Structure 1
């Protein structure tokens, strides 16, 4: 069976919450629920670190503006994680298929990360924090569900991930005015902070 659907799905999920992907895959492999998980992800140290960072992200991701800062930091981390997980799933160290899988996983993770970050910018223009928490919970549940589904039914999971990615891109285009508004507000705040720092004592 081709690993491409699982690679694509894990990449999409990594772009939203890479730590959840690593932790869930590792946990399901370590407990024997699935034998499709690479042994490297089942290691105790990997599970502990991924679980701890998953908890940190679960909190940071639900705080307006903190979530966007967190996303900015993870613009590099999530695509790399997506590529590494994809390469481990593909196996065959240094082979062309493994390199191709890493490219697919990393690219898909970058695409879903950019969609997530854009949607969050739009959501952060809302005056109340509830919408931010709701979106974050939906992402957490979505990633968890799609990873479990991908291990047992990789093709349907990949189709769902692809549809979610397309819908995400459409959503970002639809709320682009909100994203621009958030960006202008963020730049104004940064300029205000800088002006306070350079004021003479």
Structure 2
């Protein structure tokens, strides 16, 4: 795996000093809803920041002319780049809970790739063992907060009678959690153990209107 990809992977398992994010990802989530109004899967779209995009393209030897446009062959090479190797214990930075219990999900499969305006946009699909819409809570975060996720591209559901509610993180509470981790710990302890990303995560819940008679 190339250097930039290694840096990305290592960032997923080692907390950065001070818990400042180094990679920024704008996200769109589209949840599959079956006839029983259960969530069965999610299409995840990640748009990476321009600096990380540049690192990946340079590291993989793509876009040699620097025009920001990739050939079909180059896109084929890039396809699925962020799903190739997962560090041990990595869960894809997507956590699904049903009535407070975490749902285990299979690894995702890549389904799309694009480079537009200097940003890589990668799309993958994850199956979710069927869980009732009303019972679900979804969090998207990197535990170490090396990567910052923002669902600014929207959350949608395939059932038009259902809708998602996105609750922003409490920034003051999140910073207080960081301060608490920093207090009294050595720099080595902080680097190895600081896992505060959950405090900076949006919380996504869902509900459905009663079926019409």
Whether TM-score is above 0.5 comes out as no
Question: TM-score, normalised on structure 2?
Answer: 0.26
The structure carrying a bigger strand percent of its residues is 2
The structure carrying a bigger helix percent of its residues is 1
